[in-house]
Each structure stands twice: as C-alpha cells, then as structure tokens.
C-alpha cells in the first residue's frame, strides 16, 4: 500500500507534478510494453494504468493506440485534473488505492497492466503480495510493466516514500511469487525527464 504522506504530497502538488511529467517522452518504453501484449485473444486490448499520475501514458494508449484504458490513482486531485484535461478521451478514470484493486472483481479482464514509477511507493516487504494482486486481473498471456528508481534501499525524499529496486532485490521479490506462471525480463534505462542523474529499473512480467 502507499502511505498517506506520499498521497498527500501528490494531492498538494498535483499541478506541479503534472507540469513536470506530462510531456516526458516514453515512446521506447511504450514500444517494449506493447510488443509483449497478447495478440491471440478474442477481446480488445484493455490496459490498467496503475498509478496513472499525470495521465500521460493512459492518454497515449487510448488516443494514439486506440486501446481501452482504465486509469487508477490514489490521489484524488490527480484523478480530477486528468478527468478535466482529457475530457474528450474514453479513459475510465478511477480514484482507487493500490490495495483496493483486489476488491474490484477484475480477474482476467486486462491484457496489460502499466505501473510506471508507481509501485516504487510500495514498501519492499509488501511488493510480492502487491504484484500477485496485480497479476490476477491479467488475462493468460497478459503483460505487466513496472519501473523503479535503480538502487538498493528504502528511503524518504521529502514527504514521499520510495522503494528502490535492482537485480538482487527483484530476485528476492520473485522468490516469494509463483514463477511457474510467469516469464520476466528486466533492463535499465536512463531518466528521460532531463536534469536528473537517475537510472530506472524496468520490469516486464508475462502471465502464462
């Protein structure tokens, strides 16, 4: 779960956060994710954007790729601003905390789950259960993407909690998950926002 201090930060600084992140170029990551989405299914592509933030990625999947998108965030202020800014889109915006996903009855409803720079607010010891709860809404063959700042610690940056990730820490997470149903890959990318010396740990999980 995401702590209240972190959510309060996004509620109070929603406008600044949106301005900072909405125009960041994410095309390379979109391409890596979309290539792994299932194509042998009898349903439209439906993406669950977990921690949709500025709405940038949801809008790309919906407007540019004509996919169905359900976008959730635990910040009510971000959801309200996205609903207003993207009012002509068909995106289903929902104010929903991560820990409440398992109560939505979404089993096998999504072909892809996009969790870009969002699960990094979940404590390390809570990540295995969180990932399991996110895999449940995926159809067989569906793909989940997640990204974390590269590192090996949990920390506070101002009023926000961060859980960093690297290869060894991710193996620890995987050891607590049933790997018989998963195929995964990881890679590292540089920050695309500009002016920041940050690397990102990217994860793709495919549900068999």
What pLDDT, on the 0 to 100 scale, is given for residue 1? 59
Is residue 146 within 8 Å of 115, Cβ to Cβ? yes
Token pair in block for residue 112: 């892809």
> What pLDDT is attached to residue 64?
95
- Report CA dihedral (187, 191, 197, 198) to the nearest 10 degrees: -50
CA-wise closest residue to 56 among 33, 78, 75, 34: 78
**pLDDT over 90 at 88, yes or no:** no
Give residue-wise pLDDT tens across range 121-147: 999 999 999 999 999 999 999 999 999
pLDDT tens-digit map of 21-40: 999 999 999 999 999 999 99
More confident residue, 180 or 148: 148
% of residues, the chain, pLDDT over 90: 91
Q: Does domain 4-207 have CATH number 3.40.50.150?
A: yes
Cα 3 to Cα 147: distance, rounded to the nearest angstrom: 19
Domain ranges for the chain, please list them: 4-207
Candidates 124, 134, 129, 131; CA nearest to 172 is 124
Beta strands in 74-181 (DSSP E): 92-95, 110-115, 138-149, 154-157, 160-163
Mean pLDDT estimate for the chain: 96
Beta strands in the chain (DSSP E): 46-50, 68-73, 92-95, 110-115, 138-149, 154-157, 160-163, 182-190, 199-207
pLDDT at 206 over 80: yes
| pLDDT higher than 70, residue 46 | yes
pLDDT of residue 82: 98
Cα 92 to Cα 49, 63, 156, distances in angstroms: 10, 13, 31
Q: Is the pLDDT of residue 70 over 70?
A: yes
Better pLDDT: 195 or 41:
41
Tell me how far apart the alpha carbons of residues 93 and 175 are, in angstroms, rounded to a whole number: 33
Q: What is the mean pLDDT of residues 162-173?
A: 98
Q: In angstroms, rounded to a whole number, what is the distance separating the alpha carbons of residues 142 and 205?
A: 8
Give the mean pLDDT of 55-62.
98
Tens-place pLDDT, residues 179-201: 888 999 999 999 988 778 899 99
Region 55-83: what's the mean pLDDT? Answer: 97
């Amino acid at each position: 779960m995401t702590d209240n201090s972190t959510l309060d930060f996004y509620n109070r600084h929603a406008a600044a956060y949106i301005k900072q992140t909405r125009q960041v170029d994410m095309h390379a990551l979109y391409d890596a994710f979309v290539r792994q989405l299932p194509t042998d299914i009898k349903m439209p592509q439906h993406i669950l954007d977990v921690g949709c933030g500025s709405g940038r990625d949801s809008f790309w999947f919906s407007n540019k790729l004509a996919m169905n998108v359900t976008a959730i965030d635990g910040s009510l202020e971000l959801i309200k601003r996205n609903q207003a800014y993207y009012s002509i889109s068909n995106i289903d915006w929902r104010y929903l905390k991560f820990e409440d996903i398992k109560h939505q009855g979404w089993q096998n409803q999504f072909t892809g789950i996009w969790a870009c720079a969002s699960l990094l607010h979940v404590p390390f010891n809570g990540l295995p259960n969180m990932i399991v709860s996110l895999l449940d809404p995926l159809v067989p063959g569906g793909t989940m993407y997640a990204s974390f700042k590269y590192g090996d610690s949990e920390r506070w940056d101002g009023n926000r909690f961060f859980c960093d990730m690297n290869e060894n820490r991710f193996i620890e997470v995987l050891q607590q998950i049933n790997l018989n149903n998963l195929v995964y890959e990881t890679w590292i990318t540089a920050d695309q926002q500009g002016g920041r010396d940050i690397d990102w740990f990217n994860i793709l999980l495919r549900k068999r």
